[in-house]
Amino acid sequence: MNSNYYKVIMKLLKIKYGSGLHLYGCPIIFNKRGATISIGRNVTINSSFLSNLVGLYSRTILITRTSEAKIKIGDNVGISGATIYARSSIIIGENTMIGGNTKILDNDFHPIEIEDRNADIKEKIGTRPIVIGKNCFIGCNALILKGTELGDGCVVGAGAVISGKFPSNSVIVGNPGKVIKLLH
């Protein structure tokens, strides 16, 4: 699909985006009525197998699931085959690179308690905002869970599973993600 055609669709979905948006392939975008998705200037979204040779197995997916949800992507961000799924808020700072197949999820998808899950009580889904600072690098296949806060300049290793608050310039690896080094 031609990216200019897809940009028209994004406008119809009330997705705000800045100049210089590059779409390689077609992302999957769902914006719940009342929610907001905003994409900064000079953002690149890779959503096709050949757009990133790390081996993308999915198109980029941006989803807001509640009318209060917000996804804000800063200027000069690169995203490759990632899923960004918000019930509350996900903010990604400028100049951040998000590696292939990464998942950024500000919620548990389902209630934790058995009775609530079986009754499908959406209000019982655990949700906490995610903030990713400026100039971060997220390695491929990383999983960033609800409530995570990454300071500016953080590096998340490939395949890391992270949750919690991490100071600026941290190198975070493993499952669970731990800081192994501070960059200068």
pLDDT tens-digit map of 22-58: 998 888 899 999 999 999 999 999 987 665 656 667 8
Marked catalytic residue, from 32, 110, 124, 178: 110
Degrees (nearest 5) of the Cα angle 73, 157, 72? 10
User: Does a structural domain hold residue 38?
Assistant: yes
pLDDT-based confidence at 151, cuts 50/70/90? very high
Which range marks the domain in which residue 79 is found? 3-130
The alpha carbon torsion through 66, 156, 27, 34 (nearest 10 deg) reads 20
Residue 178 in any domain: the answer is no
184 in catalytic set: no
Q: Is the pLDDT of residue 16 over 60?
A: yes
Asked if residue 55 is part of any domain, the answer here is yes
Tell me whether residue 116 is in a domain: yes
Minimum mean pLDDT range among 9-23, 83-97, 159-173: 9-23
Average pLDDT across the chain, whole number: 92
**Higher per-residue pLDDT: 55 or 105:** 105
Candidate from 9-13, 128-132, 159-163 with smallest mean pLDDT: 9-13
Structural domains of the chain, count: 1
pLDDT in tens, 78-102: 999 999 999 999 999 999 999 999 9
pLDDT of residue 52: 63
